[in-house]
Amino acid sequence: MIRAIDWEAFKELRGGEKREYFMRDGNIFHVVMAQQFDRPFLDYICDLTTKIRGIAKGNQGMLFLQSLLQTKRAMLYFVQPSTRTFLSFMSACQILGMRCSEVRDPTTSSEMKGETQEDTVRTFSSYVDLTIMRHVQERFAEKMAWLLNQTGRPVSVINAGSGKDQHPTQALLDIYTLHRSFENYGGIDGKAIAMIGDLLRGRTVRSLTYLLKNYDGVKIYFVAPRGLQMGEDLKDYLRENDVDFEESENLDEIIPLVDALYMTRIQDEYDQGDESKKIDYSKFHFTGDHLKLLKPNAIIMHPLPRRAEIRPEVDQDRRAMYWRQVRNGMWVRVALIAKIFLADREIMNY
């Protein structure tokens, strides 16, 4: 374990340098940022997820999964809107037999009496073994993991979305979806992947970009309106890790080149004024006509919720993967929680 240091110094460390801080006895303990995962871990989580899905097909298997973490409790602290991520974490915990409590509205907690967020998180972490959190503040989960590590009773933290910054478990389910889709086509290595939309403020595309550096020969196309292109920090990360990428504003030109399209909505909840309204986002919408341009084995992804980025008529196409992503998300989260609590061996031996 790296030495406990103050938050300011810890904050300055780069993702990889913090890895040890998120581990316990060589195992994943906190899930905070995508940079903490390496290729063996990603391959293992994909295998574990597939194994769990197989086990869950039968009643006996479901009962086995439910027996694994019956003595553990989880807290879901979701103070930013969420449908899928909240429900899939809740379902994942329940599949493993865990009991869950939740805070979704900070106006019902003692934060309203002036308690700091740090004290609030420390309080509810006293009752549970795992805290899953979504927060509008960037690096919130990271700070809480750091804070809990300084206490006598640290519990695992999972980041379920931290402002514009990261959404590492969404990135894991995206990797699982890509892995399954390309299983018979050489895997994720060597694939061309386009990310489309508000890349500056979209945390899903940021976390996924970090994960893609673990795959050989990947090419990433960032297709975004001017002003919403992928952040310099991520582009520097790709350059340092020799990942090939290109920026574009022209969706039609990029569609025929790629194996996967990752569509996203405009993240206007982070607007300072009305800047989003000035952008013609319709140029970054995928329509039924675009299907003709797409390679036969390419896939269309979206973290959801969508607005008009993908027209409903596209849903019927076999290359549309976004509803499958929703389902995959639950199973990947089962795998991740099982891994954190060291129940994965038992699953693999089932």
- Residue environment code for 49-78, b if the CB has 16+ CB neighbours within 10 A, otherwise e: bbbbbebbeeeebeebbeebbeebbbbbbb
Nearest-CA neighbor of 207 among 182, 249, 158, 174? 174
Catalytic annotation on 169? no
Q: What are the backbone dihedrals phi and psi of residue 120, each rounded to the nearest 5 degrees, phi first?
A: -60, -50
Catalytic annotation on 219? no
Structure tokens at 269: 């909840």
Of the candidates 53, 72, 85, 339, the residue annotated as catalytic is 85
**Spatial CB neighbours of 21, under 8 Å, sequence gap ≥ 6:** 1, 2, 10, 30, 145, 146, 149
Q: Could you give the string, one character per residue 251-270, with x where binding to ligand NCD holds by CB under 6 A and - elsewhere? A: -------------xx-----
Evaluated on CA atoms 341, 344, 346, 350, the torsion sign reads positive
Catalytic annotation on 113? yes
Q: Which stretch binds ligand NCD (CB under 6 A): 48-56, 89-97, 242-250, 302-310?
A: 302-310
Catalytic annotation on 84? yes
Q: Does 170 bind ligand NCD (CB under 6 A)?
A: yes
Alpha-carbon distances of 30 from 35, 154, 312, 313, 340, rounded to whole Å: 12, 10, 37, 40, 8
Minimum Å distance from CB 57 to ligand NCD? 25
Out of 167, 206, 290, 333, which residue is the one contacting ligand NCD (CB under 6 A)? 167
Minimum Å distance from CB 192 to ligand NCD? 22
Minimum Å distance from CB 84 to ligand NCD? 5
Q: Does 161 bind ligand NCD (CB under 6 A)?
A: yes
Q: Does 302 bind ligand NCD (CB under 6 A)?
A: no
Question: Please, what is the end-to-end C-alpha distance for the chain in angstroms?
Answer: 32
Q: Does 85 bind ligand NCD (CB under 6 A)?
A: yes
Q: Does 84 bind ligand NCD (CB under 6 A)?
A: yes
Of the candidates 113, 153, 226, 292, the residue annotated as catalytic is 113
Q: DSSP 3-state assignment of 204?
A: helix
DSSP 8-state class, residue 231: P
Catalytic annotation on 85? yes
As a whole number of angstroms, the distance between CA 279 and CA 262 comes to: 19
Of the candidates 24, 73, 84, 235, the residue annotated as catalytic is 84
Q: Does 303 bind ligand NCD (CB under 6 A)?
A: yes
Which residues are part of the catalytic machinery?
A: 84-85, 113, 134, 167
Residues at the site binding ligand NCD, with contacts judged by CB under 6 A: 84-85, 161, 167, 170, 203-204, 264-265, 303-305
